[in-house]
């Protein structure tokens, strides 16, 4: 059974507004990788338990851009990766090579 190794980058554009971001890493880990009710559990059931999502969730990083352009997904993804790298959140989680 294939295991899809994933890293979730929690990234926000406050766009000049106050955000109340949950900093509870366990909650996000359960949401994405919980075998019963998380995204992992959903995809296991959808694939008759032939696919497992596993990985790590990184804490929130935000970019203070008052008018972000979120229409170019590739640029947004690259910006999120750069922001994570600049915040020294580039240690490799267990299972990632």
CB proximity list for 6: less than 8 A, separation 6 or greater: 32, 33, 53, 54, 55, 56
- Asked if residues 40 and 6 have their Cβ atoms less than 8 Å apart, the reply is no
If one counts the domains in the chain, the total is 1
Average pLDDT over residues 71-80: 87
59 falls within a domain: yes
In this predicted structure, what is the pLDDT of residue 54?
92
* 70 in Cβ contact with 23 (< 8 Å): no
In-domain check, residue 70 = yes
The pLDDT score that the predictor gives to residue 88 is: 54
Bigger pLDDT: 83 vs 74: 74
- pLDDT of 44 strictly over 90: yes
94 is a domain residue: no
* Model pTM score: 0.66
Helices 25-33 and 39-46, axial angle in degrees (round to 10): 10
Average pLDDT, the chain: 80
């Amino acid at each position: 059974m294939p295991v899809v190794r994933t890293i979730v980058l929690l990234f926000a554009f406050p766009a000049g507004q106050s955000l109340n971001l949950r900093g509870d890493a366990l909650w996000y880990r359960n949401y994405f990788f919980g075998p019963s009710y998380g995204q992992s559990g959903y995809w296991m059931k959808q694939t008759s338990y032939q696919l497992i999502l596993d990985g790590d969730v990184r804490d929130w990083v935000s970019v203070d851009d008052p008018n972000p352009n979120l229409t170019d997904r590739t640029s947004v993804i690259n910006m999120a990766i750069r922001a994570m790298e600049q915040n020294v959140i580039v240690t490799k989680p267990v299972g990632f090579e």
